[in-house]
Amino acid sequence: MQMIMFVLDDPNQVDAVLDAWHSVGVSGVTIVESIGSYRRRLARRVGGRYLFGLPGLRECTEQCQYILFAIVPDSRTVDMCLDAAEKIMGDLAQPNTGVLAAWELSVARGVPEMLSESRAEE
């Protein structure tokens, strides 16, 4: 099994990426709101943490990214997720698109049976 981590630069594209991953068989994705250190430092320089009295709202709407985590059965599925993401975001080697990384899992519990069975076949 493999873990995919995709830092999605454009939060407006999260649903499109989720739909694309679902179309290649990935249904369980964990989504985390985040902000990278570069954007955080830039926001601090600009200032203005408050918008209409709501702390953090401006920071989140203008600076947030989403990190998508998914456990998939194999590297072929990782490649399909990468291709699907790049169809939406463009070449991830370009700036302001996103970062995708994947790695082999030595232990995974609580994942759907389909993934567990795939691991047992390897």
Domain ranges, residue 102: 2-32+65-121
Token code pair at residue 73? 């059965």
Residue 35: what pLDDT? Answer: 75
Overall size of the chain counted in residues = 122
Q: How far apart are CA 24 and CA 86, in angstroms?
A: 14
Domain assignment present for residue 41? The answer is no
In-domain check, residue 51: no
What are the per-10-residue average pLDDT scores of the chain (122 residues)?
95 95 94 75 55 47 81 96 97 94 94 60 52
Q: What CATH number corresponds to the domain at position 89?
A: 3.30.70.120
Q: Is 73 helix (H, G, I), strand (E, B) or coil?
A: coil
pTM, whole model, 2 decimals? 0.76
Domain count, the chain: 1
